[in-house]
Structure 1
Amino acid sequence: MSAILFGSISTIADTSELQRQAFNRAFQAHGLDWCWHREEYLTMLEKSGGRDRIAEYADAIGQTVDAAAIHRSKSEFFQNSLTADRVHPRAGVFETIQGAKSQGLKVAFVTTTTQENILLLMAALRSSIQITDFDLILNADSVDRPKPDKAAYTFALEKLGEKSADCIAIEDNLGGVESAIAAGIDCIAFPNENTAHHDFKRASYMVDRLDFDELQKFIMSN
């Protein structure tokens, strides 16, 4: 193994509930009586794309809305929630990053969220995880095609100068897993609070916390 590729914000800090709450606040701000309860939201997360999720929901209930404007509001509410008192590294993430760096492995953040989200996340986690811990960080402007397309991972491999067989991806959602596999990368499912019930059968295996030694053993056994 030569590189560990974290695939989304919620593989580093579980922000899934903050995302759902931000959607509901955006709906209220736009005068909508929508409220995405957790059980309903869990099913929605089986597909990627926040703006598309809003548009599809509106179509399903026969309403016309400005999905882009609502999503912009949602992003603002979400960004305001990325504070040190509400965002913390997930179990084993800090230790895995440090273990990788101590062994000379590369660590990348292969996300397609906005650069602003990334900077706010890193600011909230700065007491334990730094931007400089990553050899590469992608954002929404890095590729034209978002996950589950393989473009983000293909681009990351190119920039890192690594082969897919020498890397391992960590993803918290089905679209991310599909993206990594499409790029030929073994993927560990690390579900967040709201994706734990999803069927991650295409992942190499699933964990509820990261363990650097276990990741190394997995690579050596393949």
Structure 2
Amino acid sequence: MTQLPAAVLFDMDGTLVDTEPYWMIAESELVHSWGGTWTHDDGLTLVGNGLEVSAAVLQSRGVDLDIATIINKLTDRVTEQLAEVGVPWRPGAQELLRSVRDARIPTALVTMSFRRMAEQIASYIPFEPFDTIVAGDEVENPKPHPEAYLAAAQRLGVQASAAVAIEDSLGGLAAAVAAGTIAIGVPHMVPLPESGDHTIWPTLDGRTIEDLRALAEQRAGDR
């Protein structure tokens, strides 16, 4: 019998680490440097987007740079903040990740941030956190497309339907559901709706691999 979950797939920004405010600062600084305006509400509209999509929005707000340059500038600014201020972990996230690793269940980091940033975040975790990383510069279709989650499951050699995916954004949760995973939404910057297609946990604080097992077995029974 296949163990459940067969793997756990973690989103990064807003799920494992509270870097969304760092992205908003980077976006605001860049738009303002070109004479435009950028508000907190503007930043919320980009939560969970692929970086190319976000860069195109910034272009429409007056940033006269090509997509690749905008992405690099945003990523550079966020990595600077990580180095200067540190990594703001989401409550319970690192503890849950440790619980999964201690249970020897495969894990993946599935993020629309670029690999260099994903590897930077992973390097700050005081244990070996992931068997694979699927980053935004390694997929053709960003979230909410399921490609990133399907790629992670394939790399780990598991069926997506037997893997748990944990997300904080609307687009990310849509990607996890579209890939057929056992999707968990943990709201952070934006509210997430209740749905029969996914499970909402208000926080990861206090959650362990036993909670993931119970959910995966329940979902398998429902299917």
Q: Give the TM-score range, shorter chain.
A: 0.7 to 0.9
Deviation string for 1:70-126 (max 9, x for gaps)? Answer: 343222211211127431321111221121122221111112321111122234x34
Deviation string for 1:169-193 (max 9, x for gaps)? Answer: 001111111111111101101223x
1:155 to 148, 151, 154: 151
2:199 to 183, 200, 204: 204
Deviation string for 1:187-206 (max 9, x for gaps)? Answer: 101223x22x3436453223
Q: Partner of 1:55 in structure 2?
A: 56
Q: Partner of 1:78 in structure 2?
A: 78
1:24 to 19, 24, 28: 28
Structure 1 Cα separation of the partners of residues 194 and 170 of structure 2? 7
| Greater than 6 Å deviation, 4+ residue runs | none
Secondary structure of the corresponding residue to residue 9 of structure 1: coil
| 1:41 CA displacement | 2.5
Matched AA of 2:65 = D
Structure 2 Cα separation of the partners of residues 102 and 108 of structure 1? 15
Matched AA of 1:55 = A
Stretch of structure 1 that moved more, 64-73 or 100-109: 64-73
Matched AA of 1:162 = V
Matched AA of 2:158 = E
Structure 1 Cα separation of the partners of residues 48 and 106 of structure 2? 29
Decide whether aligned partners of structure 1 residues 74 and 119 sit closer, same or farther in structure 2, where only a CA change above 3 A counts: same
| 1:57 CA displacement | 5.8
Cα contact 1:27–1:70 (8 A) shared by 2:
no
Structure 2 Cα separation of the partners of residues 150 and 185 of structure 1? 10
Decide whether aligned partners of structure 1 residues 72 and 167 sit closer, same or farther in structure 2, where only a CA change above 3 A counts: same
Q: Is 2:212 the counterpart of 1:215?
A: yes
Matched AA of 2:40 = R
Structure 2 Cα separation of the partners of residues 200 and 58 of structure 1? 34
Decide whether aligned partners of structure 1 residues 39 and 113 sit closer, same or farther in structure 2, where only a CA change above 3 A counts: closer
Q: Is 2:3 the counterpart of 1:7?
A: no
CA RMSD of aligned residues (A): 2.4
Structure 1 Cα separation of the partners of residues 174 and 56 of structure 2? 23
Stretches of structure 1 that go unaligned for 5 or more consecutive residues are none
Decide whether aligned partners of structure 1 residues 153 and 54 sit closer, same or farther in structure 2, where only a CA change above 3 A counts: closer
Identical pairs, percent: 23
Cα contact 2:92–2:204 (8 A) shared by 1:
yes
Structure 2 Cα separation of the partners of residues 87 and 120 of structure 1? 10
Decide whether aligned partners of structure 1 residues 72 and 207 sit closer, same or farther in structure 2, where only a CA change above 3 A counts: same
Matched AA of 2:168 = D
Cα contact 1:189–1:200 (8 A) shared by 2:
no
Structure 1 Cα separation of the partners of residues 117 and 194 of structure 2? 26
